[in-house]
Amino acid sequence: MKTLLLLVLSMVVAAREATAQDECVRERAAMVETIRAYARSGAGVLGQQGLSERVLEAMGQTKRHLFIPERSCSIAYADRPIPIGLGQTISQPYIVALMTHLAEVAPDHVVLEVGTGSGYQAAILAHLARKVCTIEIIPQLAEAAAKTLKDLAYDNVSVRLGDGYGGWPECGPFDAIVVTAALGELPPPLIEQLKVGGRLVMPVGPAYSTQHLTVVEKIAPGETTTRAVALVRFVPFTRSQN
């Protein structure tokens, strides 16, 4: 009888562990299919080319519900931005996927993210790159994101508190830079820290208005090409007051 009881208890524990592991799996898979369909439709900017399968795999592996205040599967995996407090948001999944795709991150790359927020974009990049350095200017968000990323064993991500306009020279140079807040100009320090052949992806335009999602490619020292990809609306880039 005791053996049977232990067997039943072990089955219950195993079932609970399986349930925990499977949490939000259907919603996450549905999100990926929504992103895939949107990217290939006329509403997307890539047409039939679609998004990189590596990016879609990273989106499917990353538990977005653990990066938002309300850990709801239905809310987390809807294709929409979500407030995370302090006037900031976690971007719409399609936009996260699009920016990551445009950055063309390879497995041996070192990537800079400016605007850590919840840490979700950094987690996506961590699936694709060798190393991710991410900067957040709001102390509460930097601390919370660092804890979440550490708890989820994203060991190739480093979080820094500070003004991202100046980049992070000690971590660079970078193969790709992703900026998740809008600014009216391209920050020269970020372009300086970009490797030749590297890409900077960021929204460029006025605060609280429509901006252009912009891709800058460094083709030689001191020489870049720039193209606008899509119209977006991001929170404004926050600068240090010092």
Among 10, 74, 91, 158, the active-site one is 91
CA distance 13 to 51: 39
Q: What is the DSSP letter of 162?
A: S
β-strand pairing of 110-114 with 131-136: parallel
On whether the CB atoms of residues 181 and 237 are closer than 8 A, the answer is yes
The amino acid occupying position 96 is V
- Long-range residue pairs from 30-38, CB within 8 A, at least 24 positions apart, any chain: 30/77, 31/59, 31/64, 31/77, 31/78, 31/79, 31/93, 32/56, 32/59, 32/60, 34/79, 34/93, 34/94, 35/59, 35/79, 35/93, 35/94, 35/97, 38/79, 38/94
Terminal Cα distance for the chain, rounded: 70
Catalytic, 52? Answer no
On whether the CB atoms of residues 161 and 182 are closer than 8 A, the answer is no
On whether the CB atoms of residues 111 and 129 are closer than 8 A, the answer is yes
Residue 176, beta-bridge partner list = 111, 199
Count of C-beta atoms within a 10 Å radius of residue 237: 23
Active site positions, annotated: 91
